[in-house]
Chain A
Amino acid sequence: MARQFAVIGLGRFGSSVARTLIDQGHEVLAIDENEEKVAEMGDLAAQAVQLDATDEKALRAVGIEDVDVAIVAIGGDIQASILITLLLKEIGVKEVVAKALNARHGRILQKIGADKVIFPEREMGERLAQILVTPSVLEQIELAPGHSIMEIVAPKAFVGKTVRDLDIRAKYGANMITIKKKVPHLTKTGETDFVETVNIAPKAEDRIEKGDHLVVIGKDEHLAKLKKLSSKEG
């Protein structure tokens, strides 16, 4: 269902949030002090206005109290970000999401009533670090809080063993639901290639080979153990 959003601050972060919301069919009120940035969003957003968002009257004039969610995406000015977040809560915006520049800023935003504080730089950094540290985790999807499904490269210790030998459920508390294999073959023109076979119901006697991908489902704490094992070999 389409909801109404306000994005305040149209820097790199704010404008990319605005664009994503618009792409998903939501109505966006885009606000910035800078006329050029407002003009850039003008064609996309339902409404793009240039105003000083620390000015309560100006905010009310554009109907800020009617939006479902306001996102405070101010780049460098911590004071402005705090003031605007406070104003938005006072005006009665239902949900205020504010971008924090550092931990202290984040704590202040929380204290003055931001419903959600985000640390985009930190979150991206953590995600990147995760990818760099565990390159063998190919994908992880959260199913419910604390539970995920993930695809890993088969750890070295698993190679040559059968599903029965591994007994993943007993040893790791997780269930292996799929084994993906790369099967080498030659193409019609005689070049090397491989086809990926997907075994969606691994049997007890199926054997893990080098380079296989395993899809496992379970609690995050249990998956973390498998992740560690998988990343060791690098």
Chain B
Amino acid sequence: MRDKKVEELIEQGKFYFLNKQYNEALSEFQKALKLDPRNARILYNLGVIYESKEDIEIAKTLYLKALELDPKLEEAQKHLDKLVGTSEEE
């Protein structure tokens, strides 16, 4: 029952994300995270949304947390590498 609710929230979040309604997308994913706090994919998705909104530091933290929970989550590693690369140039 709870899993189904989480899936629904994630789907809704993705829909908002694809329509560039980032704040709405965030709120859906945050609700999903509350129900399933150790879900690396939710953390990763939140990271992508924050990155889209140019909140780079928060995005980095979220990718790191996602990787802590699931070290094999390639997407998170890819995004993190890109962000770390840019800030090292500073």
Contacts and interface: CB of A to CB of B under 8 A. Distances in A.
Contact of A193 (B20, B22, B25, B48): B48
Which of the four size classes fits the interface of chain A?
Answer: 10 to 19
B54 A192 contact: no
Nearest to A210: B20
A136 B13 CA distance: 26
Nearest to B19: A184
A211 interface: yes
A194 B75 contact: no
B45 A192 contact: yes
Interface string B7-45: 000000110011010100100000000000000010011
Interface string A124-135: 000000010000
A209 B22 CA distance: 13
Nearest to B18: A184
B89 A139 contact: yes
Contacts of A186: 14, 18
A192 B90 contact: no
Given A186-B14, A187-B75, A209 B54 contact: no
A174 interface: no
A211 B75 contact: no
A154 to B, nearest CB: 10
A153 to B, nearest CB: 5
A182 interface: yes
A123 interface: no
Given A136-B54, A153-B54, A191 B18 contact: no
A192 B14 contact: yes
A169 interface: no
Contact of B90 (A131, A136, A184, A187): A131
A185 interface: yes
A193 B54 contact: no
Contacts of B61: none
B54 A185 contact: no
A130 B66 CA distance: 31
Given A131-B90, A191-B45, A184 B75 contact: no
Contacts of B25: 192
A211 B53 contact: yes
Contacts of A194: 48, 51-52
Contact of B41 (A182, A185, A191, A210): A191
B14 A193 contact: no
19 contacts: A182-B51, A182-B52, A184-B20, A185-B18, A186-B14, A186-B18, A187-B75, A191-B41, A191-B45, A191-B48, A192-B17, A192-B18, A192-B45, A194-B48, A209-B20, A210-B22, A211-B22, A211-B52, A211-B53
Interface of A: 131, 136, 138-139, 153, 182, 184-187, 189-194, 209-211
